[in-house]
Amino acid sequence: MNIVDTSGWLEYIADSANAVNYEKSILNINELIVPTIVLYEVFKKILNDYNEDKALIITAHMKLGKVIELDESLAINAAKISNEKRLPMADSIIYATAERFSATIYTQDEHFAKLNNVKYFKKK
């Protein structure tokens, strides 16, 4: 199972030099897990940078993967992870989701760089 962090989705959407690092995970819908916090962050960024129609189209594709809502146990585990690993709230939710599903996180967010089960790509 794979999780593409918000940074990866934004690189893919922008078709940047780093987009190739995320393409396989994004297109492999059967293995894709999408935490709702990632839906939120991507929708907000695309809404701000483009428009609501584009944001809806992109999040519709994201929802083809398995969308994971933040429930009570995930929230509590994320809070523990945040304290232990000094991660911001959204990142700790993403990491807790990855742990729950034994997923690999694909990202260029430095907060994840040294954590287990993370494929970190330095921003070009």
In 3D space, the residue among 3, 81, 6 whose CA is nearest the CA of residue 43 turns out to be 6
3-class state of residue 32 by DSSP: strand
Residue 123's pLDDT band (boundaries 50, 70, 90)? confident
Structural domains of the chain, with CATH:
2-120 (3.40.50.1010)
- Rounded CA gap, 34 and 23, in Å? 15
**Averaged over 32-41, what is the pLDDT?**
98
pLDDT tens, position by position, 47-86:
999 999 999 999 999 999 999 999 999 999 999 999 999 9
Token output for 45: 């960024």
Whether the predicted model's global pTM rises above the 0.85 cut: yes
